[in-house]
Structure 1
Amino acid sequence: MASQSSARIRRARPVDPALPRRIWRGGAIGAGNLAAWVSRRAGRGSGASIRGQVITRLYPMMFTELVADRRIAAVSGTNGKTTTTHLLAAAAEAAWGSRDVVTNADGANLREGIASALSQNIKAPVAILEADEQIVPDMIAKGRPEVLVMLNFSRDQLDRHHEIASLGKKWRTALTAAGQDAPTVVANIHDPLVTWSAQAARRVVWVDMGIGGWTADAALCPSCGAILEYDADGSWNCPGCELGQQPADYAAHDDEVTGPGGVRWRLDLQVPGRFNRGNAACALAAAVEMGIEPQTALGAMGAVRAPAGRFSIGVFGGNRARLLLAKNPAGWAESLLVMDSEPVVLAIDSAIADGTDVSWLWDVEFERLAGKHVICTGPRAQDLAVRLSYAEVDHEVIASVREAMARPYEGTVDVLATYTAFLNLCKMGGVEW
């Protein structure tokens, strides 16, 4: 199997374009690299986003050209795509070597971010790419991925994004249009919209991620509009049509993954939480579909510690903090389950990258923090404090993140933050990736 995969890599290696276009493209990449260097020197971040913006502005065909003629595995969904991409990329690098694999490890997942990542290793025959939900149809049409991992759909940044139902329709339409060129889809059985969208693919590998608790965004059948029925174990079915939960090919349960034929593998992950065990099950299924031996994939995934800063340890003076990121109600619901310290710190912002609408706070079951002391910080700390008051959770407000992190803590304190606050905390705590 490994030799066949290596042969496919050699055949998939991109062919250089004609000289004039190559010079034009190379100049755009050079300008983008310079912009990224300036951004890093100025302390404005990794520079990946600005690099992508520059190169796609100077060479508009960059995304289309760079996603062509590679073996691509794309990962998308509202929650977990960065971690799943890191796990799958680690498996691919273990199988084929880091020189032959390119990935957007920093999480820049729009066209510009993907073009930025691919521009740094143009000749890599394999690409493991995190893709924003909105660009998946473009990825299917132009990149023709070998595998597409579909994790979940959940409300996220409603002030900027379309309703998730429209995204699901676009995914289904793109898979239908691709026909026999459509990717093998690795799909989460617990999400009805993912299930409905994935059914249009030529082949689907179904995964029980072990996460059946979040149903707030899946009340109606995406096929016929009937109210879905849920059993006590979280399984679902539509009473109005044939859509229903599919039998799993892979299933995550505790520290194990069960695969086809009942074979079992142990998960030994460095990233915590049941949601990451589910992510790992999807990554394993995708790796096997690409021809990677399961034990090779699992060994590599077990070495992933802090994908794009998530779960990393930051140092704030005399304090150590484990930094967690959550961007929407579904993500917060899972992240609250791994908050172990006493107290815990919750940092809330509402910049453009976070979504300016923070009404989602009322959809999170903060009652799970009962018995803990919570420190609310960040620009929207007062909004969080109101929600915690209704949840009857003990809390205090320290508006300044810097002051909140200067408070003396015993041991490592858990800090859960929205996107902008998370990036600021990484910078303050010396976390780089």
Structure 2
Amino acid sequence: MGEMAKIQIKDRLQLALAVLTAKTVTFGVRSLKLGAASVLPGEIARRLQPQLLQLLSRQVKQGVILIAGTNGKTTTSLLLRTMLERQGKRVAHNATGANLENGLMSALLANTNLVGTLDVDYAILEVDENVVPKVLAAIQPKLILCLNLFRDQLDRYGEVDTISQRWGKAIAVLPPDTIIIPNADDPTLSYMGQQLPQKVLFFGLSEPEQYLEEIPHAVDSIYCPNCGHSLDYEGVYLSHLGDFHCPNCGFHKAPVAINSQEYPQILIGLYNKYNTLAAVLAAQQLGVDETTIRDTISNFQAAFGRAEELNVNGKHVRILLSKNPVGMNETIRAVNQVRQKTHSSQLAPVLFVLNDRIPDGTDVSWIWDVDTEKLVAQGGTFVVSGDRVYDMALRLRYSHSEDNDLQLIVKEDLREAIATALEHTPQNQTLHILPTYSAMLEVREVLTGRKIL
């Protein structure tokens, strides 16, 4: 008997009404070009059927896959989804990045018929790190990917160890056959995974040549999650992710189930190597063959705003979403590597766009935890824009020293900022744009002429 048939008549009627209403709202929003309807349909439908998320997720034939973490959810999800679809699987996915409960419901609703029957093999749901326990109260996933935990929006979230403890409690009560895949290089997640009763497989890097020269300023968790003692690091790959052990209690990085040196890096930036490994390990557990996995990696295209590359008026542009200290430090690291390979006296400019809206976090003090000095040290032109343009300009000005040549251009109007940055970009170089989340959506609309949300 199918899952839909097991649902009681009252719940089925409420579900059908909720689905019909959601689809009507979706049609109206898209017809009026008000957006992609990635949130509102789910919010309205939940009011009509409070058990909506549970009723829909139960119908997914081969299981729900939750992907949680501060950075990398969208790229990892798209990579895994592509692998599954190339195996002939039908996949529901909240691809627009609406990762709160109403966004998850909207993604599932988009794949139902008019009476609420869901016909997909898998549902890949990117989940905001702060709502993981609430989502797990309604969904019993087949597999959970735990990518990383960093400080993100300072006005919304607590410390990373608090969030990991909440994750651990919510996951521990799930069925024993649930597959948990945490990042071994993240001490809080490595510790959490080692305490869980389920099947736990770890991913992480085994590439000491990629160690940073020093621990970055924007580091979140360098203390043992078991005893509180300072961890000893053989080396760090980014922020607090690295090879570590505790000299006091013996806690150490969990052994990994995948050799990172066997897989190439997708896109620019070492952080994308983590995304690759997470998706590969999940795909292997879901039965995707190795040929499909490797071919997908070789031909992968970036998700919007995540190392996405565009050609604008004959100029090459790369958008690198930078929404927190760790994310921006890593994009700066990637941009520096590109600039160091440039054999030209004129470096392409870098455009920073800093907003402070709800999707970005209203507290922008995190920019002072970013190592902008490492980028400014190379000199060149930097264009700044966004709602908090003068905050970003001040941060870059304080990064300047007498040893480097800084040309700082401040443009309150985003279109002017983009036009100026393109004008200063040599024909054979790449303009890197580093925006926060809402800024990334605006940048894409300017460059492509269409919205994503």
Contact 1:72–1:128 (CA<8 Å) still a contact in 2? yes
Residue 260 (structure 1) aligns with: none
Q: Distance in 1 between matches of 2:4 and 2:301?
A: 32
1:230 and 2:233 matched: yes
When residues 23 and 319 of structure 1 are mapped into structure 2, their CA distance, relative to the original with a 3 A threshold, is farther
SS at match of 1:350: coil
Contact 1:92–1:297 (CA<8 Å) still a contact in 2? no
Q: Which amino acid aligns with 2:260?
A: A
SS at match of 1:180: coil
Question: What's the CA shift string for 1:259-304, capped at 9, x where partnerless?
Answer: xxxxxxxx374x3222112201110000101111122123234433
Partner of residue 371 from structure 2, selected from 354, 365, 379:
365
1:197 and 2:167 matched: no
Partner of residue 11 from structure 2, selected from 1, 7, 21:
21
When residues 165 and 15 of structure 1 are mapped into structure 2, their CA distance, relative to the original with a 3 A threshold, is farther
1:89 and 2:105 matched: no
Partner of residue 58 from structure 1, selected from 32, 39, 48:
48
Residue 410 (structure 1) aligns with: 426
Structure 1, 338-347 or 113-122: larger mean CA deviation: 338-347
1:206 and 2:202 matched: yes
Give 1:212 shift: 6.2
Q: Distance in 1 between matches of 2:29 and 2:418?
A: 26
Q: Distance in 1 between matches of 2:74 and 2:31?
A: 25
Residue 349 (structure 1) aligns with: 355
Give 1:42 shift: 4.3
Partner of residue 144 from structure 2, selected from 134, 144, 148:
148
**Equivalent residue pairs, number:** 408
Residue 239 (structure 2) aligns with: none
Give 1:223 shift: 1.8
Q: Which amino acid aligns with 1:289?
A: Q
Contact 1:208–1:252 (CA<8 Å) still a contact in 2? yes
Question: What's the CA shift string for 1:305-331, capped at 9, x where partnerless?
Answer: 131443334576776532221211111
When residues 268 and 23 of structure 1 are mapped into structure 2, their CA distance, relative to the original with a 3 A threshold, is same
Contact 1:16–1:22 (CA<8 Å) still a contact in 2? no
Consecutive unaligned residues of structure 1, counting only runs of 5 or more, are: 1-10, 258-266
Residue identity (%): 31
SS at match of 1:244: coil
Residue 164 (structure 1) aligns with: 160
1:381 and 2:389 matched: yes
Structure 1, 194-203 or 309-318: larger mean CA deviation: 309-318
Q: Distance in 2 between matches of 1:238 and 1:320?
A: 46
Q: Which amino acid aligns with 2:182?
A: A
Contact 1:69–1:143 (CA<8 Å) still a contact in 2? no
SS at match of 1:117: helix
1:217 and 2:214 matched: no
When residues 22 and 79 of structure 1 are mapped into structure 2, their CA distance, relative to the original with a 3 A threshold, is same
Contact 2:384–2:410 (CA<8 Å) still a contact in 1? yes
Give 1:26 shift: 2.6
When residues 55 and 410 of structure 1 are mapped into structure 2, their CA distance, relative to the original with a 3 A threshold, is farther
Matches for 1:273-422 after TM superposition, within 5 Å: 273-313=269-309, 321-339=317-335, 340=338, 342-369=348-375, 370-371=377-378, 372-392=380-400, 394=406, 395-407=408-420, 408=423, 409-411=425-427, 412-422=430-440
Contact 2:80–2:282 (CA<8 Å) still a contact in 1? yes
Contact 1:140–1:174 (CA<8 Å) still a contact in 2? yes
Q: Distance in 2 between matches of 1:57 and 1:321?
A: 43
Consecutive unaligned residues of structure 2, counting only runs of 5 or more, are: 112-117, 237-241, 339-346
Give 1:113 shift: 0.8
Alignment root-mean-square deviation, CA: 2.5
SS at match of 2:87: helix
Residue 115 (structure 2) aligns with: none
Question: What's the CA shift string for 1:323-363, capped at 9, x where partnerless?
Answer: 22121111111112332471010100011111111111111
Give 1:21 shift: 3.1
* TM superposition score normalised by structure 2: 0.83
Residue 423 (structure 1) aligns with: 441
Q: Distance in 1 between matches of 2:331 and 2:26?
A: 32
Structure 1, 348-357 or 21-30: larger mean CA deviation: 21-30
Give 1:86 shift: 0.7
Contact 1:105–1:308 (CA<8 Å) still a contact in 2? no
Give 1:36 shift: 2.9
Give 1:87 shift: 0.6
Contact 2:265–2:273 (CA<8 Å) still a contact in 1? no
Question: What's the CA shift string for 1:187-230, capped at 9, x where partnerless?
Answer: 21111011112223322211114676566111222222112121
* TM superposition score normalised by structure 1: 0.87
Residue 3 (structure 1) aligns with: none
Q: Distance in 2 between matches of 1:12 and 1:92?
A: 23
Matches for 1:66-85 after TM superposition, within 5 Å: 66-70=56-60, 71-85=63-77
SS at match of 1:415: strand
Q: Which amino acid aligns with 1:237?
A: H
When residues 48 and 189 of structure 1 are mapped into structure 2, their CA distance, relative to the original with a 3 A threshold, is same
